Amino acid sequence: MEPRKRRKGPVILLMLVCIMVSLGAGVIIGRSGNSSVEAIKNFMPQTATQEPKGDAPVVELQPLPEYTDGGYDTTEIFEKVNPSVVSINVYAGTSVSPIGSGTGIIMTEDGYIITNAHVVDGGTSVNIVFNDETQIRGTIIGADSDTDIAVIKVDKRGLTAAEFGDSTGLKIGERVVAIGNAGGLSGTCTQGIISGLNRDMDSGARSLALIQTSAAINPGNSGGPLVNRFGQVIGITSAKIAATDYEGIGFAIPITEAMPIITSLIENGYVAGRAVLGVQVIELNESNGPRNGLPSKGVYIASITVGSDLANKGIRERDVIVEANGKEIITTDDLLEELEKFSPGDTMNLGIYRPENDKVYNVDVILMEAQS
């Protein structure tokens, strides 16, 4: 590695893992009982939840009906979609009480159910409660924390699958309905409009461009459907901003962007073809960097996975990534933007700052495939 000189400073072990906030508003991404977003970001491959399942079922995204009237009223939308909405209770280990709950959307009549990854996070088993109050145990097929999408499978046929619509043609001002297990109250229906499109509410993860909606979304709604005026699911409710003076700012994952992720989760147990470095990182800033003898920008390496090429090239924990392919890395978003240009097995050039000797090294590393 060829070093370049950086300014000197005291070396103090970084110990801070903060909570992300935006303009004083907490971003709630959580099932009932879970409302935090960690700043440590995962660029590591992890074991798939289940073995690959083979070909995923084909789900066609339906265009809007040819007629252009106002569509169904809210009661008709609810009656059409609610049979395809389930409540999800998540359990860990031998616990008899759920660690959290959320909502799911029946994708196929033979038991594939869509939800959010954060709904099933930390769970070892899930219990699915259907519209008719029957219950069955489900299996987590795969979960992708980067896009907050997960797939569950139940051994049951003849289910009422939702109708899915194309979310690419959405317009601000369209009427939408959210249905879900809000606060443990199953079958909760709220109405609003599409307030914005292509919103990025995540930092340091491969977030999809989200739909913003004024329909009320509460903990427990996570993983449920956002539905257009024709009763077509066009989004997966995922998050909201919750703070004093904030009202009616909820978010959903567009279903058209979500479907390729869902397909890969079913077929592989993870999202195939995604390149990662094999590290967990923390974004540095003016607050957590200089007072620990670190830069005020860049991404701090908190851990390196076994098998990552970074370890083979002498990179270690407490180093800081400051460049990638000649581009300055200020935030984790910058690093992700560069990673998304590559495939597993490709080589990426990194600029690595080492606090102990105050130098920057350039090194070529081979990228791994993400399996989480």
> Which residue has better confidence, 140 or 52?
140
Q: Is the separation of the CB atoms in 139 and 123 below 8 Å?
A: no
Residues assigned a catalytic role: 118, 148, 222
Gap between the Cα atoms of 239 and 41, Å rounded: 18
For residue 372, what pLDDT is reported?
Answer: 59
Helix, strand, coil share of the chain (percent; to 5): 10, 40, 50
> What CA–CA distances, in Å, run from 195 to 37, 162, 178, 323?
23, 24, 14, 36
Token pair listed for 144 = 């992708």
**pTM assigned to the model:** 0.72
Over 90: is that where the pLDDT of 205 sits?
no
The DSSP result for 133-155, as a single string, is S-EEEEEEEEEETTTTEEEEEES
Residue 58 makes CB contacts below 8 A (sequence gap 6+) with none
Over 70: is that where the pLDDT of 37 sits?
no
Neighbours of 69 (CB within 10 A): 8
Kindly indicate the confidence band of residue 60, based on its pLDDT and cuts at 50, 70 and 90: confident
∠ Cα 304 305 311 (to 5°): 60
Average pLDDT over residues 169-185: 92
For residue 194, what pLDDT is reported?
Answer: 95
For residue 3, what pLDDT is reported?
Answer: 54
- Residues 263-288 as b/e (b if ≥16 CB within 10 A, e otherwise) read bbbbbbbbbbebbbbbbbbbbbbeeb
> What CA–CA distances, in Å, run from 285 to 11, 98, 209, 230, 290?
16, 37, 25, 46, 8
Q: Is the separation of the CB atoms in 45 and 371 below 8 Å?
A: yes
Report CA dihedral (183, 188, 193, 198) to the nearest 10 degrees.
Answer: 50
Of 10, 8, 4, 7, residue with least CA distance to 360: 4
Q: Is the separation of the CB atoms in 51 and 70 below 8 Å?
A: no
Gap between the Cα atoms of 316 and 287, Å rounded: 23
Q: Is the separation of the CB atoms in 248 and 194 below 8 Å?
A: no
Kindly indicate the confidence band of residue 94, based on its pLDDT and cuts at 50, 70 and 90: confident
For residue 15, what pLDDT is reported?
Answer: 24
Domain positions in the chain are: 2-20+273-369, 51-268
Sign for the pseudo-dihedral over CA of 62, 65, 68, 73: negative
> Which residue has better confidence, 101 or 205?
101
Gap between the Cα atoms of 328 and 169, Å rounded: 35
Neighbours of 188 (CB within 10 A): 19
Gap between the Cα atoms of 293 and 290, Å rounded: 5
Highest mean pLDDT among 48-57, 79-88, 143-152, 330-339: 79-88
Over 90: is that where the pLDDT of 365 sits?
yes
Average pLDDT over residues 317-323: 94
Q: Which fold has domain 2-20+273-369?
A: Pdz3 Domain (2.30.42)
The least confident of 7-11, 30-34, 306-310 is 7-11
Q: Is the separation of the CB atoms in 74 and 191 below 8 Å?
A: yes
Give residue-wise pLDDT tens across range 237-268: 987 665 556 667 889 999 999 999 999 999 98
Kindly indicate the confidence band of residue 371, based on its pLDDT and cuts at 50, 70 and 90: low
Sign for the pseudo-dihedral over CA of 314, 316, 318, 321: positive
Burial of residue 80 (CB within 10 Å: 0-12, 13-18, 19+) is middle
For residue 25, what pLDDT is reported?
Answer: 38
DSSP letter, residue 56: P
For the chain, percent of residues with pLDDT exceeding 70: 80
Give residue-wise pLDDT tens across range 220-237: 899 999 999 999 999 999
Over 90: is that where the pLDDT of 152 sits?
yes
For residue 41, what pLDDT is reported?
Answer: 52
Phi first, then psi: give them for residue 243, nearest 5 degrees: -165, 165
Q: Is the separation of the CB atoms in 351 and 323 below 8 Å?
A: yes
Q: Which fold has domain 51-268?
A: Thrombin, subunit H (2.40.10)
Over 80: is that where the pLDDT of 269 sits?
yes
Average pLDDT over residues 2-14: 38
